């Protein structure tokens, strides 16, 4: 029965059967018979180049359809490829610039937050510094005494953070730094001048911690 499945039996005119062997492998030699090919081989595209060395390139796909690419088509493809490369480079440069700006903003905000915290701590300690200044004015800070050493340590610690005293007698009045408590007319000044410092002010870097309370002499 197996031989009948591999053979095609067709009757001839004289009534004798004619046997057609459909087996792809010869049972006697074991070799593949000529003319047999796999379905995958027939699906491969065939590239047909112009024998005369012309400009057109023909590509036969699996369905046997001709696809022609001219030099203009190849030029357009190359131009499109260059445009994509330039676009990706521009995007990469833009992303790098945005990352750099983000890092700069983070560092600036971190520095500003640090200054704000230090300023708040110093502001809470200003009454202690005022008491030390009054004690020094009244002669309570004896040179080499324990209270003098403590005052020097406190002032030195704040100076490390850039703390500066604002308000000196005789300097020009600055409304951004000074708070005028009293104004006195005077013929000895040509512009508003600090006549006396009631309470000193303080700067931390460029940040005003407290304005100086002063008495101002104004020209008549």
Which pLDDT score is estimated for 51? 46
Q: Which residue has the tokens 């100076």?
A: 159
Q: Which residues contact 43 (CB under 8 A, 6 or more apart)?
A: 62
Q: Structure tokens of 36?
A: 């047999």
Residue 165, helix vs strand vs coil? strand
Which pLDDT score is estimated for 43? 47
CB 180 within 8 A of CB 212: no
Q: What is the pTM of this model?
A: 0.51
Main-chain dihedrals φ then ψ at residue 133, nearest 5 degrees: -65, -40
pLDDT in tens, 162-210: 888 999 888 999 999 999 999 989 888 889 999 999 999 999 888 899 9
130-151 burial, b for 16+ CB within 10 Å, e for fewer?
Answer: eebbeeeeeeebeeeeeebeeb
Q: Is the pLDDT assigned to residue 47 strictly greater than 50?
A: no
The topology under which CATH files domain 164-220 is Nucleotide Exchange Factor Grpe; Chain A, domain 2 (2.30.22)
Which pLDDT score is estimated for 217? 92
CB 20 within 8 A of CB 7: yes
Distance CA 45, CA 61 (A): 5
Domain extent listing, the chain: 164-220
Distance CA 49, CA 55 (A): 10
CB 117 within 8 A of CB 193: no
Higher pLDDT, 47 or 203: 203
CB 149 within 8 A of CB 141: no
pLDDT in tens, 156-168: 888 888 888 999 8
| Average pLDDT for the chain | 77
Which pLDDT score is estimated for 38? 46
Band of residue 212 on the pLDDT scale cut at 50, 70, 90: very high
CB 211 within 8 A of CB 201: yes
Q: For a pLDDT cut of 90, what percent of the chain falls above it? A: 22
Which pLDDT score is estimated for 105? 92
Helices (H), 36-169: 39-42, 71-137, 146-159
SS (HEC) of 185-216: EECCCCCCEEEEEEECEEEECCEEEECEEEEE
H or E element at residue 63: none
């Amino acid at each position: 029965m197996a031989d009948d499945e591999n053979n095609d039996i067709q009757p001839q005119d004289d009534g004798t059967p004619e046997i057609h062997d459909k087996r792809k492998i010869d049972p006697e030699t074991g070799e593949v018979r000529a003319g047999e090919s796999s379905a995958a081989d027939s699906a491969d595209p065939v590239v047909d180049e112009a024998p005369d060395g012309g400009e057109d390139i023909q590509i036969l796909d699996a369905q046997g359809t001709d696809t022609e690419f001219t030099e203009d088509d190849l030029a357009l493809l190359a131009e499109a490829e260059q445009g994509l490369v330039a676009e990706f480079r521009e995007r990469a440069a833009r992303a790098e610039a945005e990352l750099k700006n983000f890092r700069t903003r983070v560092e600036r905000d971190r520095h500003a937050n640090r200054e704000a915290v230090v300023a708040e701590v110093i502001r809470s300690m200003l009454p202690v510094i005022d008491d030390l200044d009054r004690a020094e004015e009244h002669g309570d800070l004896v040179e080499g005494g324990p209270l003098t050493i403590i005052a020097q340590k406190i002032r030195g610690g704040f100076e490390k953070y850039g703390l500066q005293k604002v308000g000196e007698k005789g300097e020009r009045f600055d409304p951004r730094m000074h708070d005028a408590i009293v104004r006195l007319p005077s013929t000895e000044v040509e512009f508003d001048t600090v006549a006396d410092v009631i309470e000193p002010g303080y700067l931390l870097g460029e940040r005003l911690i407290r304005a100086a309370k002063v008495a101002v002499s104004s020209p008549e």
